[in-house]
Amino acid sequence: MDFSQMNAAEQAHMSKVIEKKQMQDFLRMYSNLVERCFNACCNDFTSKALSSKEEQCVMNCTDKFLKHSERVGARFAEQNADAMNSTAGK
């Protein structure tokens, strides 16, 4: 995304908007993570307590999802930068 076409007032406004959005995105990522790892790891409802096996699964699932997101984010940023440059070159 290219904000260089904006003036200072607009860029300041956008920074605030982005900051707020990041908080919302974080909260959504959190509840998405809970849902995802619950669905993947909890399949036995003969008890109401999390078994140690389920707990381990949830921890690994969380860990892996964050590492996955980070890697996707890194590749995404690279691809985005490439797309930007090839557009700018035209």
Interface residues toward other proteins, by CB under 8 A = 1, 3, 5-7, 9-10, 13-14, 17-18, 20-35, 37-43, 45-50, 54-55, 57-77, 79-81, 83-84, 87
DSSP string covering 16-63, please?
HHHHHHHHHHHHHHHHHHHHHHHHHH----S-SSPPHHHHHHHHHHHH
Least distance from other proteins to the Cβ atom of residue 58, Å: 5
Least distance from other proteins to the Cβ atom of residue 47, Å: 7
Q: Which residues of 59-73 are buried (b: 16+ CB within 10 A; e: fewer)?
A: eebeeebeeeeeeee
> Residue 5: helix, strand or coil by DSSP?
coil
Least distance from other proteins to the Cβ atom of residue 90, Å: 10
